[in-house]
Homo-oligomer: A and B are copies of this chain.
């Protein structure tokens, strides 16, 4: 496949800047061709001006057209074969099955949002009928629904080159709600990003959508992202990545003359609480599940289980022994990039040097730095050390976890209470555990977006009831999710029409409800008239 390395400003290709960078294959250390042009300010400005122009046209299109457009993007991506898979694999080091799975998920997400838009009830229509005779004041006719915001800046994630990048969940949700998207491609997979951007450009053409609806910018430096977030035409920001990166964007957006929402998903340690009866009943099964969850994708998931909390005792000793065997057998795996590998090594080094923390297990074979490999590692410490060292609760992105030994249920609660916001928290229970550790669930409810019972946090189902979010620092906005249909709510806001004539109202709010969507009419949910 011939890649051009340029930025997409709507349908135009542009490589005005002289700063060119390359992707690298983490598995071989090879530099991958071609070079990609770092976007310059006037290209970013142009992308946003085109987006703003396209917005007025796009948001007025009937839902069926928006849905067909999302389906078309899904079709285009589906039809991309070997050249896409090969480039993803080269840029990420991910095995074939992972690439195929992520592609399927990306296509599924686009179709899910197409269906959501086609069905239409997502606009949360509410109608209150007029009461002209009411005393002392007449009640006006009031009709409310959600409308799109305008150009959305989406930042591609390093670890999901497809599902959370150029045509990932945020882009799909933004487009579904009626917004244009300006995507900042992640610099570790610019080739993958270009292939997907071409697919979207193709869909824009085939569906006769306004060309400024989608743009994609390359950038390795922070300036590109910051300029994008500070641009007055940008109306919201979606980001998946590090706490440092997400917070920088949040701060830039909050300091704007007109602040805008930033949905940054910044990961977490996703604590697992292994309660005593669970360990007594099925230590082996839990050790196997943990090892799999921990090492999945070389531990490069936001939901990677980086913390394990359990009561001291024979069950725990046995559990750690089983986990040790499994982790030792687990071969080192290629990480996404050399900076990520180095950061992982640094994080592990920090744990290792902390007094009171010891290595309980590590992949037996040595990782090959030339293949950007990392070993799986299990650390172990006690509750006291953990509570005294807040840095031990910080995420280390990669296949490591820390087991914290507690000597009482009160210790378990203390550790739980010490945690900051998490995407997930899991508890493994056996007979009687839930009763004995009754206070744990309420503590975790206040600290996590998703609570998992007898399961592992990796594997985030894409569906209406998924919530992939959580209190800060897991995200910058605990009210929103980056997975599932509710993600569309990130990119919409309510508007209310008072006393409008029927034919001046959006279809969704007219009396006859021709699309049959669910609406709250005079306080009652109905698919009927109103």
Residues of A within 8 A of B (CB): 56, 60, 121, 126-128, 137, 139-140, 142-144, 147, 149-150, 250-251, 254-255, 258-259, 261, 420-421, 434, 441-442, 445-446, 448-455, 459, 461, 463-467, 469, 471-473, 476-479, 481, 486, 489, 492-501, 504, 518, 520, 523, 525
Contact = CB atoms under 8 A, between A and B. Distances in A.
B465 A126 contact: yes
Given A128-B464, A441-B504, A525-B525, A453 B494 contact: no
Given A467-B494, A493-B479, A445 B525 contact: no
B494 A448 contact: no
Contact of A504 (B255, B434, B463): B434
A139 B460 CA distance: 10
A463 B254 contact: no
Given A448-B495, A452-B498, 12 more contacts: A126-B486, A128-B466, A139-B463, A142-B463, A144-B486, A150-B446, A254-B259, A434-B501, A434-B504, A450-B496, A451-B496, A479-B493
- Chain multiplicity (copies): 2
Looking at A150, A451, A477, which has the most chain B CB atoms within 10 Å of its CB? A451
B128 A498 contact: no
A445 to B, nearest CB: 6
Contact of A498 (B450, B478, B493): B450
A144 B466 contact: yes
Contacts of A504: 434, 441, 453
A246 B60 CA distance: 33
A366 to B, nearest CB: 32
Nearest to A444: B495
Contact of A445 (B464, B467, B495): B495
B495 A464 contact: no
Contacts of A461: 128, 139-140, 142
A169 to B, nearest CB: 16
Given A142-B463, A469-B494, A500 B451 contact: yes
A111 B298 CA distance: 54
A496 B453 contact: no
A499 B465 contact: no
A520 B465 contact: yes
Contact of A464 (B126, B149, B251, B473): B126
A499 B455 contact: yes
Given A499-B452, A500-B453, A493 B520 contact: no
B453 A497 contact: yes
Given A254-B251, A479-B261, A127 B500 contact: no
A387 B255 CA distance: 26
Contact of A259 (B250, B463, B465, B467): B250
